[in-house]
Amino acid sequence: MKYRDLGKTGIKVSEIGYGAWGIGGGMWQDSKDDDSLRALHRTIDLGLNFIDTALVYGDGHSENLVGTVIREQKGRLSVSSKIPPKNMRWPAQKGSALRDAFPFDHIVTCTEKSLKNLGLDTIDVQQFHVWDDGWAADHEWQDAVAQLKDEGKIRFFGLSLNNHEPENALRAAATGLVDTIQVIYNIYDQSPEKNLYPYCLKNKIGIIVRVPLDEGGLAGNITAKTIFPKGDFRNGYFRGDRKQQVAGHTDALKKLLGSEAGTLAELALRFCLHHPAVSTVIPGMRSIANVEANCKLSDGRTLSESLIAELRHHVWVRDFYED
Ligand SMILES: NC(=O)c1ccc[n+]([C@@H]2O[C@H](COP(=O)([O-])OP(=O)(O)OC[C@H]3O[C@@H](n4cnc5c(N)ncnc54)[C@H](OP(=O)(O)O)[C@@H]3O)[C@@H](O)[C@H]2O)c1
């Protein structure tokens, strides 16, 4: 496993981090705690040292599982969590008031709940789970974050951006109070490269890449016949004829497999790692097989410029969370 700087935090994070949404259950109906814990332990054996979770993942269950593993490792791992918006509106609504989503007391109370769920005294990176840049100059969030840092309840602060809106954070970043940004970046959505990544490289803001496999739509195993468990959010994400659409896109991408990447998941993750602004890529991975396949990709090898150029033709603009 290779490690990169998480911006200017001083934390060296593994290139492959762990996305802990799925293990919370709830919206991912096919999670089993024993499998999740086995997968988490295997990632750590393989050198992974960064786990991303959130207060709302399984209503604290993801944080419970992650906390168990972090405590066992006694300071060798870093964790990021997220504060949900008080109004529970995803994405953040343009023109809404910061107070509706992140009033001071809510920021503090949610952080204290996450600390309890994790069983820790401090969270390495605490993030807002949505963001609208119209809130950037509001002192309420700035004061709450400063207080949490002063009290040692959080070490660093970040934003997890609205889906497919990588530039909806540049004003917040300019305050100097944002240590990390979590953003969707994958073969289909390459838009962070345009303005967000150059800004973050220049200003040493850490980038946490989420949804590198498009919720499975870049893993290569979704076909028209794929069935998700009842109540699972992927029934909505891949609704209607979307599974056929996905299969069309992955069939085209499979033509690029070869000596540089043998599977679509490998191609997708290596694509994310090729960009120097990226600190860590956090796929969800609940099986030992997926953990082993993904962790071994952090080997210092980068995709060739010609393959990256080919991948530029596979951008697919849409919002399956909303449309
Ligand atoms: N708004 C936000 O802040 C937000 C939103 C979404 C996600 N996130 C964060 O980003 C993380 C990653 O996103 P995600 O988990 O939603 O989606 P993702 O990483 O794009 O995709 C996860 C899916 O890919 C599968 N997979 C993983 N490795 C694979 C491999 N080598 N081959 C084939 N399939 C593979 C997983 O299977 P298994 O799980 O069954 O192994 C799972 O079904 C989340 O866990 C969460 O921490 C944040």
109 lines ligand 1 (CB under 6 A): no
Helix axes 104-118, 61-73, angle to 10 degrees: 60
**Does residue 169 lie within any of the structural domains?**
yes
> pLDDT above 70 covers what percent of the chain?
100
Q: How many domains does the chain have?
A: 1
- Ligand 1 centroid–CA 187 distance in Å is 14
Task: Look at ligand 1, atom 40, and give the residue with the nearest C-alpha.
Answer: 286
Q: Tell me, what's the pLDDT at 299?
A: 98
Q: Tell me, what's the pLDDT at 293?
A: 98
Residue whose CB lies within 8 A of the most ligand 1 atoms, among 42, 66, 238, 290, for a mutation test: 290
**Does residue 321 lie within any of the structural domains?**
no
282 lines ligand 1 (CB under 6 A): yes
Q: Kindly report, residue by residue over 146-184, the tens digit of the pLDDT.
A: 999 999 999 999 999 999 999 999 999 999 999 999 999
- Give the pLDDT band (50/70/90) at residue 23: very high
**Does residue 322 lie within any of the structural domains?**
no
The two three-digit tokens of residue 2, written as one number: 């290779």
Residue 323 pLDDT exceeds 90: no
Rg of the Cα atoms in the chain: 19
Residue 263 pLDDT exceeds 90: yes
The whole-model pTM stands at 0.99
Residue 14 pLDDT exceeds 80: yes
**Does residue 323 lie within any of the structural domains?**
no
Position in ligand 1 atom list of the atom nearest CA 127: 3
- Ligand 1 centroid–CA 21 distance in Å is 8
Position in ligand 1 atom list of the atom nearest CA 20: 45
- Give the pLDDT band (50/70/90) at residue 13: very high
**Does residue 142 lie within any of the structural domains?**
yes
CB under 8 Å to 109, separation ≥6 — which residues?
A: none
DSSP string computed for 93-112? PTT--HHHH--HHHHHHHHH
What is the rounded average pLDDT of the residues 268-286? Answer: 98
Q: Tell me, what's the pLDDT at 277?
A: 98
Instruction: Report the distance separating Cα 150 and Cα 111, nearest Å.
Output: 14
**Does residue 50 lie within any of the structural domains?**
yes
Q: Kindly report, residue by residue over 187-232, the tens digit of the pLDDT.
A: 999 999 999 999 999 999 999 999 999 999 999 999 999 999 999 9
Position in ligand 1 atom list of the atom nearest CA 82: 3
Assess contact for 11 and 44: CB atoms under 8 A: no
The CATH number assigned to the domain holding 170 equals 3.20.20.100
Position in ligand 1 atom list of the atom nearest CA 289: 31
Position in ligand 1 atom list of the atom nearest CA 90: 1
Domain that holds residue 170: 3-314
- Ligand 1 centroid–CA 37 distance in Å is 16
- Ligand 1 centroid–CA 99 distance in Å is 31
285 lines ligand 1 (CB under 6 A): yes
83 lines ligand 1 (CB under 6 A): no
Task: Look at ligand 1, atom 10, and give the residue with the nearest C-alpha.
Answer: 210
Q: Which of 310, 213, 226, 225 is nearest to 263 (CA)?
A: 213
Q: Tell me, what's the pLDDT at 34?
A: 97
User: How high is the mean pLDDT of the chain?
Assistant: 97
Q: Kindly report, residue by residue over 70-115, the tens digit of the pLDDT.
A: 999 999 999 999 999 999 999 999 999 999 999 999 999 999 999 9
